Amino acid sequence: MEQYDFDLLVIGGGSGGVRAARMAAQRGVRVALAEAQGIEGLGGTCVNLGCIPKKLYAYAAGYADAFQESHGYGWVGEAPQLDWGLLKSRRAAEIQRLNGVYANLLRGSGVTLLEGWARLSGPHEVHLATLNADGSAGQQHYSAATILIASGGQPYLPHFQGREHVISSDQAFDLDHFPQRLLVVGGGYIACEFASIFNGLGSRVTQLYRGEQILRGFDDEVRHFTAAEMRKSGVDLRLQAGVLAIAREADGLHVTLEDGNRLVVDAALYATGRVPKVDGLGLQAVGVAQGADGRILVDDEYRTNLPSVYALGDVTSRVQLTPAALGEAMQLVDHLYGAATGKEARRMDYELIPTAVFSHPNVATVGLTEAQARECYAEVRVFRSEFRALRHTLSGSEERTLMKLLVDAASDRVVGLHMVGAEAGEIVQGFAVAMKAGATKAVFDATLGIHPTAAEEFVTMREPMAPRAPA
């Protein structure tokens, strides 16, 4: 292996790349990690433009309701106003701190950090385009026994008249001026989250989605319930609606809708999907096989068609979530360099991945939707509870919570668990462990609730719904 500069060269310092580099270095492997954004990009999408800043803004948005609801609990006086500039700078400082933590973790594990744009120039070679201290362009060449591509994904924007005026989630965190009127286009989790966040922060939000209902892939009842709750909270959600054209005028962006209606907004945020970030990686020149959407094709060990080149995370378009990229990285390192002493080699398990949408209200889910469960099992028992959370008996909020359990009647196993309501992500994470352990409804029934909580509802639902046609 000494014939190469490194044993492993990782392209991309996001969730998957950082985890793989760090774990491999801890096995005594000579590792380099190239990150196009330099130290400031460490942590990738999740830390810089995804999970973390989004959740921080979701917390910020939550205060508006909390101030409003506090009156029901005897608090009096005016609610504080949002200082958008202050929120942005507080977020930026925290992200910068995290970038530094990642840099220290990598350096502390012995990983060589390379700052620049990496491109494959051979099965074992990487070309790195760098920026010199004086601002001029530089380049380096490195060789490695194994190359791992973890370059992530990027937003996809459709082509239409006025496309140049819209932003993606990448720009939404740092808008110069707070958008008093915001258009969000899309119906996936990122669109719903940003619609809820800006609605909570004080924007007048219109959300347009082409399809029949938001959150495709989630349980149908959860989708309808969430849409109704988002509307209740103030989002002007319009389904089967799309944009024809956008033009910039003195008073804002003039949006012409497909149904002929018009809107004037300060910003238009498109959350219309993400695609693998593969441009400029040199994949075609070196002969790395790709799927139709550009994704890098890999086998069960994350190996591409070139034996020395691997890929994982969003660039392979499997499960586009941070914990999946981390799990894939850990499997890869164990596979390539052996498991940690005394441990078994890890394998990424794609079954029962819990997931959350940090919309208002939150959605969280693990396992099958009702429609999927009915396809898989002859008889499905559906337990459902919809209620007003105790907090809202005094808060004045009309918000309601939905919880749903799907049980395979033959085995009594809980095969789907869904929640729409406050802290759904926090609650469902714990139940995901039970489901991974194969918990039956009888086990749920035998578990005492923590009283008074919303979560206890999951262990106190006794009567299944009457059999019904799929929603």
List the beta strands (DSSP E) in 100-152: 112-115, 117-122, 125-131, 137-149
The pairing of beta strand 117-122 with beta strand 125-131: antiparallel
Residues 6 or more apart from 76 whose CB is under 8 A from it? none
Q: Which residue is nearest to ligand FAD (CB)?
A: 14
- The minimum distance between CB 11 and ligand FAD, in angstroms, equals 5
Of 316 and 395, which has the nearer Cβ to ligand FAD? Answer: 316
R_g of the chain computed on alpha carbons: 24
Cβ nearer to ligand FAD, comparing 64 with 147: 147
Helix 322-337 to helix 15-26 angle (10° resolution) is 30
Which entry of 141, 360, 392, 451 is annotated as an active-site residue? 451
User: To the nearest whole angstrom, how small is the minimum distance from the Cβ of residue 346 to ligand FAD?
Assistant: 17
CA pair distance 2, 5, nearest whole angstrom: 7
CB 232 → ligand FAD: shortest distance, Å?
Answer: 23
Question: Hey, what's the torsion of the CAs at 349, 335, 312, 22, to 10 degrees?
Answer: 110
With the C-alpha atoms ordered 52, 458, 66, 233, is the resulting torsion angle positive or negative? positive
Residue with tokens 């389904």: 239
Asked if residue 136 lies in contact with residue 154, where contact means CB atoms within 8 angstroms, the answer is no
- Annotated active-site residue 451? The verdict is yes
Closest by Cα among 120, 147, 443, 71 to 308: 147
Which has the closest alpha carbon to 405: 378, 382, 379?
382
CA–CA separation, 377 vs 367, rounded Å? 13
Q: How far is the CB of 238 from ligand FAD (least distance, A)?
A: 22
Nearest to 204 by CA among 252, 271, 246, 161: 252
Contact positions vs ligand FAD (CB under 6 A): 11-17, 34-37, 41, 44-46, 49-51, 54, 117-118, 150-153, 169, 190, 277, 281, 313-315, 320-323, 325
Strands, E, within 199-271: which ranges? 204-209, 236-239, 243-249, 252-257, 262-265, 267-270
- Min. distance of Cβ 14 from ligand FAD in angstroms? 2
Q: Which is nearer to ligand FAD, 288 or 459 (CB)?
A: 288
Give the distance between the most distant pair of CA atoms in the chain: 72
Residue 34: CB minimum distance to ligand FAD, A: 5
Provide the 10 A C-beta neighbour count for residue 292: 5
Minimum Å gap between C-beta 216 and ligand FAD is 17
Nearest in space to 460 (alpha carbons), one of 435, 436, 438, 441: 441
Which one, 44 or 179, has the nearer CB to ligand FAD? 44
- Catalytic residue positions, numbered: 451
